[in-house]
Amino acid sequence: MYKIDDSINTGLILKEDEAVYNARSLEEKEKPDYTYRLIDLYSGAGGMSLGFSKEFGHPFKSVWANDFNKFCVNTYNENFGPHCVHGDIVDILGNSGIEIPKADVVIGGPPCQGFSLLNKNRDNDPRKKLWKPFLDVVDRSGAEIFVMENVPQLLGTLEHSEIINTAESLGFKVWQEKLLAADYGVPQKRTRAFILGCKFIEPSILFPPRKTHFKNLGKSEQFELSFDENEYLPNPQKWRTVRDAVGDLPPPKGTQIRNIEPPLDLHFGRNPTELSKKRYRVIPEEGMNRFDLYRKAPELTPNCWIRKKTGGTDLFGRLWWDRPAVTIRTEFFKPEKGRYLHPVQHRPITHREAARFQSFPDTFKFTGSKIEIAKQIGNAVPPMLAARVADVVRVLLDQKCNKRTSCQKVKEARLCHA
């Protein structure tokens, strides 16, 4: 049993609200008759907003958003309404004529390239400081909870300490964790850092959210697994795989976005060179990559790959059917950039496949050129991962605002009389 800060007379807070935590399908989710106001900064296409939205059973409604990329803004507005503002957030905050609306929660991922291991100039990258306008908006909006998402390399840095110190000076209690998307139903092994700040309770009592999925042990699994109830929800499922996500899709057609119903609108291919096709055929088995190409056909292997011994070495690789996908980045359609070849077909993955690996529903509307859409997909927070973080935020706000369900009240009474 956990108690909210004594200054807030809203009673007990449970370890979790099972009605929120255990309902995973849209049919089972409770349809709330109330809403919480949400602001999304550095929003991209809106993957994080989507996870907090009614599409994933949550009562958060986006009232304001911002991104520097106009194509992302167009996609966001197409899906959430015309309130995403295009422009540099620093300039926007410096404009006295612009008023930041009131909100209950502010979410967002300040551009992460400043911390990325792929950025060779990260020590002096000005993008490492874009958390400052994020917390400025948190303060101006009056939000009592914020969720900041970034690459795992952020945690433990000087900037991380500055974020914590600044948030605490604004009255927030803060906790942070690295979350693996596959542990929460996303068919992708993508790890992200989340920092959650809350003004009225210590967020670590609920954050991180308990895992919903566990790592597959393979076909030889012969025993019953037991799960720590503090780490996993009851009856967790196996990690979702490439097969689960895209096994139903036919071979792609064409090389352009098609004006047809999803999912096939974004299920198009490329025009690889004959040399690329030869390379694909040399490594036909799941899991093969550039090292197998060099072993089997050194004459087809680029010299730069032969010389490359460190850094991103998992290039030109095939995905495995029965494992989650690797981290989807913005150039997933280029197999020379990573493990982005289809498990059996001689081609890179398509935009639709990448979107599904990111857990975007087929009904989500991407706008812009195929290059811009690829950036939107690769840079997004997986909505299903965001939805599990939203579980925590919703329980905290529900308790504070006394919007507990009848299920919660019954359980609370049982706890009180135990």
Kindly report the length of the chain.
418
- Paired tokens of 337: 């950039």
Do the strands 173-180 and 191-198 form a parallel or antiparallel pair, or are they unpaired? antiparallel
3 state SS of 357: helix
DSSP characters for 125-151?
-GGGGTHHHHHHHHHHHT-SEEEEEE-
Predicted model pTM = 0.88
* CATH number listed for the domain at residues 244-379: 3.90.120
Reply yes or no on domain 2-235+381-416 having CATH 3.40.50.150: yes
The residue annotated as part of the active site, out of 112, 198, 401, 416, is 112
- Paired tokens of 404: 């507990």
In whole angstroms, what is the distance from residue 349 CA to residue 239 CA?
Answer: 20
Helices (H), 130-263: 131-141, 158-169, 242-246
* Same fold across 2-235+381-416 and 244-379: no
Direct distance between the N- and C-terminal alpha carbons of the chain, in angstroms, rounded to an integer:
11
Largest CA distance in the chain: 75
CA angle 27, 30, 36 (to 5 degrees): 125
Burial class (CB in 10 A: 0-12, 13-18, 19+), 412: middle
Q: What residues does each domain of the chain span?
A: 2-235+381-416, 244-379
- Paired tokens of 99: 């008023």
In whole angstroms, what is the distance from residue 236 CA to residue 233 CA?
Answer: 6
Does 416 qualify as catalytic in the annotation? no
In whole angstroms, what is the distance from residue 275 CA to residue 281 CA?
Answer: 10
Local confidence pLDDT in tens for the 418 residues of the chain: 233 333 333 333 444 445 444 444 444 455 677 899 999 999 999 999 999 999 999 999 999 999 999 999 999 999 999 999 999 999 999 998 889 999 999 999 998 655 444 444 544 544 458 999 999 999 999 999 999 999 999 999 999 999 999 999 999 999 999 999 999 999 999 999 999 999 999 999 999 999 999 998 765 555 567 888 889 999 999 999 999 999 999 999 999 999 999 999 999 999 999 999 999 999 999 999 999 999 999 999 998 888 877 767 789 999 999 999 999 999 999 999 999 999 999 999 999 999 999 999 999 999 999 999 999 999 999 999 999 999 999 999 998 988 655 445 434 433 333 3
Contact 378, 328 (CB under 8 A): yes
Contact 396, 351 (CB under 8 A): no
In whole angstroms, what is the distance from residue 382 CA to residue 106 CA?
Answer: 17
**Torsion angles phi and psi, residue 36, rounded to 5:** -115, 140
Cα–chain-centroid distance for residue 242?
17
